[in-house]
Structure formats: C-alpha cells, structure tokens
C-alpha cells in the first residue's frame, strides 16, 4: 500500500517513524515550506522534513495546497492512502484523492476537543483523561468517521508538554494499527454524530497571545490548570513591573487571603518563594521567565528581583 504522509512538528515525526518501523511504504512526505525563525531569522526546516530526508523520502513543500503543480505532483505518487498528523486543513481535492481516503490522527478523544489546540484545552479545563483518535477526513474539520481511539490519563501535575509527549507515542502506535486495518480492509467506521451530544461538546480553538493572560480573580485550581495547560508553550503570563512574566511551573495553595490583598498581589520572602493571590488561595510559582531574560527557578529570579 502506497502511503503519503503529511505533517510538520516533532509530534508528527514519532508517527512517521513508527510507520516506517512497521514496514509501511511511505512514498512521499508533505510538509510546510522552509521559513525563517528565531532571533537570527535563519531559514528552518520542519522536524518532519529533516526526518524524511534522513530516511531518503521525497518531500513536497507547497505554499498553497490547491496549487495545480502540487496537485499534479501529489497525484503522480499514486498513493492508496494519505496520513495526516499535525499538519493543516486540506482542500477536498487533496484529501479525497487516494482511493482509501485520508486518515488523520487527532490528539483528543473525538468528538471532544475538535480544533487546533486539543492538548492545551483539555489540561486547562482540568480533565482527568484525554487520548488520541484516528478518523477519516471529510468536509468539516475533525468531524470524520472515527476508526480507533486510545485513552490516556492526565495526572494532577501534568503540563500540556507532558501530555504532548505521552500522546505523541500512544498516537504513533494507534496510527500504525489503523493503517494495518485499512490495508487488510478490516477497519470499522463510527460516525461521530452517533456518539456526539452537541450540547456537551468542548472545543479546542487555536490559542492566541491575548488568551494566555492569567486572570488572578479566578479560583486557585482554575488558575493552576490554566498555567499548566499552557506550559511550556505558548505559556501563561502576567505583568510584573511593566514587563511580561511567563509562568511555567507552579503549585496551588488553598487558604484564606487577606481582604486587603487584591487578586494578583505578590507575597514573597524575597529569597525562597513568590506567590500570587487568587480568589481563594495562592499560586506558588516554581519556574518563570521575565521578558528579556532566560527561563529560571523562582530562587534565581528572586536573587535579582527588586520589589517596589
């Protein structure tokens, strides 16, 4: 079975690697165009491109997925199946091309958390489990028929980064199983409409910078979940002496907050701890990064901090 793989970040590399290790015939890879990144604005290749080239797999990098030259190049590979992991929305002319369709690996238990940031939103909402799902692409995003899914627990101190790493490998294994079932024509499709209560669905839209500002007036558990759900990226932040202060690791401390303390007030001994007040407790910061500085422990930060 001839397979074309589409993906971009490290999360997708695990799936591509697993398919190759399982002996699947990946004939080409589609990924984003190279682009400048970082302070030096050096041109960077995607993680998937680097891995594909290291394995001698041809790489296609279209700027536009409806470009006739790209469509013709894609069709020339005569793929039986396309596999998508952390890529972008595909036009119908692309996802409907192979006879066996296009399979997508999504980092949630569909139909819950459809959208661009399922891992972040699951942790931010304080979920105790999430998972991965393989499904066949159709017109509306993340709504195609489900093929397989696998549950993964979210521990109380897991960050989005921790769950990303768990799902990356669980998802890779699930994708291999899915592809094997499709090759043997043993797969079963479950329409999402048959298991979705549209009134109770939680969504996972793309997260923008303004969405990451911490609301200290919320309960401490909500603030804690919010911070770990955005750690390590894009990172929750507050404002400290006019500068952006990102928080990556913390712990909630419940307890009475003096009435004179506004939410977001700082409590510190200047040496060992830095806490922000919330509606019903304190958020004890463990790792942070002040604008223009490197990421550091709270003790390192306090050695150079000056409080007005």
DSSP output for 212-260: GB--TTS-HHHHHHHHHHTTTTT-EEEEETTEEEEEEEEEEEES---TT
Structure tokens at 220: 């401490």
Q: Indicate whether 205 pLDDT > 80.
A: yes
Which helix or strand (DSSP H or E) is residue 149 part of? strand 146-153
Query: What is d(CA 18, CA 235) in angstroms, rounded to the nearest whole number?
Result: 30
CA 226 to chain CA centroid, nearest Å: 15
Radius of gyration for the alpha carbons in the chain, expressed in angstroms and rounded: 22
Vertex 12 angle, CA 10 and 17, to 5°:
95
* 161 pLDDT above the threshold of 90: yes
What was the pLDDT predicted at 306? 81
Q: Return phi, psi of residue 6, to 5°.
A: -125, 125
**Residues 230 and 120 sit within 8 Å (Cβ to Cβ):** yes
At residue 140 the predicted structure's pLDDT band, cuts being 50, 70 and 90, is confident
- The answer on pLDDT for 88 being more than 80 is yes
Q: Sorting pLDDT into bands at 50, 70 and 90, what band is 308? A: low
Work out the average pLDDT over 200-219: 96
Q: Residue 59 pLDDT > 70, yes or no? A: yes
Per-residue pLDDT averaged across 154-179, rounded? 98
Give the span between the Cα atoms of 106 and 172, in whole angstroms.
11
Average per-residue pLDDT for the chain: 95
Most confident of 40-44, 57-61, 141-145: 57-61
Q: What does the pLDDT read at residue 38? A: 73
pTM score = 0.94
pLDDT at residue 78 is higher than 70? yes
What span, in angstroms and rounded, lies between the C-alpha atoms of 285 and 232?
A: 14
**When comparing pLDDT for 138 and 58, which is higher?**
58
Rounded to an integer, the average pLDDT of 188-193 is 93
Asked whether the predicted pLDDT for residue 272 surpasses 80, the reply is yes
């Amino acid at each position: 079975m001839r397979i074309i793989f589409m993906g971009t970040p490290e999360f997708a590399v695990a799936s591509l690697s697993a398919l190759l290790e399982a002996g699947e015939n990946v004939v080409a890879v589609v990924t984003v165009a190279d682009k400048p990144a970082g302070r030096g604005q050096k041109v960077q290749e995607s993680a998937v491109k680097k891995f594909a080239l290291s394995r001698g797999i041809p790489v296609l990098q279209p700027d536009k997925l409806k470009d006739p030259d790209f469509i013709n190049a894609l069709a020339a590979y005569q793929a039986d199946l396309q596999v998508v992991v952390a890529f972008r929305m595909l036009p119908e002319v692309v996802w409907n091309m192979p006879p066996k369709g296009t399979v997508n690996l999504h980092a949630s238990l569909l139909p819950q958390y459809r959208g661009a940031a399922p891992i972040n939103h699951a942790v931010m909402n304080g979920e105790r489990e999430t998972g991965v799902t393989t499904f066949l692409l159709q017109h509306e995003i993340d709504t195609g028929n489900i093929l397989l899914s696998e549950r993964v627990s979210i521990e109380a101190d897991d960050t989005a980064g921790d769950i990303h790493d768990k799902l990356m490998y669980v998802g890779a294994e699930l994708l291999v199983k899915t592809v094997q079932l499709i090759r043997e024509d043993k797969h079963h499709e479950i329409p999402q409409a048959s298991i979705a209560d549209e009134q109770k669905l939680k969504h996972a839209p793309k997260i923008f910078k303004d969405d990451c500002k911490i609301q200290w007036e919320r309960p401490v558990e909500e603030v804690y979940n919010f911070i770990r759900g955005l750690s390590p990226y894009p990172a929750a932040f507050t404002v400290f002496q006019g500068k952006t202060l990102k928080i990556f690791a913390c712990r909630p401390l419940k307890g009475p907050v003096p009435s004179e303390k506004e939410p977001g007030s700082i409590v510190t001994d200047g040496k060992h701890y830095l806490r922000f007040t919330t509606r019903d407790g304190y958020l004890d910061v463990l790792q942070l990064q002040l604008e223009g500085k490197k990421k550091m422990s709270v003790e390192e930060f306090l050695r150079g901090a000056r409080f007005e």
